[in-house]
Amino acid sequence: MTIIGFIRHGVTAWNKEGRAQGSTDVPLDEEGIAMAERVAERIAKEQWDVIYTSPLIRAKKTAEIIAAKQPHIQFIADPRLSEIGGGMIEGTTETERVAKWGTNWRELDMGFEKPEAIIARGLSFLDEVQQAFPDKKVLVVSHGGLISRIVHYLFPESDYSHDIGNTALSILELTEHEKQCHLFNCMEHLEVLKN
């Protein structure tokens, strides 16, 4: 049994502006760093064995903040955890996309990463982690698009398909024959920032 704790990166200026980020390397803003610190504090007293991260700076910085509170933890960047490639829409807002390509822009070939490629790399990563870390707890810092697609693929009958919040924690338990989701899209650690 391998426990996977998925965490989405903290917020960026592009998140706030509604810009598609995809594979563009956008850094955390000040609020994003504060969010990463809150999730790091939330899990600091828990025992995790390894942390994997997307190499994109917004995820990597979130993972570094988490790892700083767990100095014993092994730290690995893996490109399979990068956000879904957004093709020509990266850096644009919905308003800009409509102005440039029209209201039916989603029906055009915009160079998006193919769904089967997204799932293939996500499952490849999970299979490798289960082989390398059986009976271990693995943190994975990644991106909302990738996390939501993987979780929805693993649990197709569930309602785990909505957007993942910044620094949301989702915990999966994976065995060779069974999978369970113990927590999905939990952001209770951010309640302190709202007050």
Task: State pLDDT tens for residues 115-137.
Answer: 999 999 999 999 999 999 999 99
Q: How do beta strands 74-77 and 169-174 pair?
A: unpaired
Cα–Cα distance, 155 to 133 (Å, whole number) = 22
Task: State pLDDT tens for residues 88-111.
Answer: 999 999 999 999 999 999 999 999
In this predicted structure, what is the pLDDT of residue 48? 95
H-type helices in the chain, by residue range?
13-17, 30-43, 57-68, 94-101, 115-132, 144-154, 191-194
- pTM for the structure as a whole: 0.94
In this predicted structure, what is the pLDDT of residue 159? 81
What is the extent of the structural domain holding 181? 2-194
Point out the residues that are catalytic. 9, 83
Task: State pLDDT tens for residues 19-63.
Answer: 999 999 999 999 999 999 999 999 998 999 999 999 999 999 999
In this predicted structure, what is the pLDDT of residue 193? 63
CATH at residue 94: 3.40.50.1240
In this predicted structure, what is the pLDDT of residue 188? 94
Q: Return the percentage of the chain with pLDDT > 90, whole number.
A: 90
Instruction: Tell me what the pLDDT averaged over the chain comes to.
Output: 94
If one counts the domains in the chain, the total is: 1
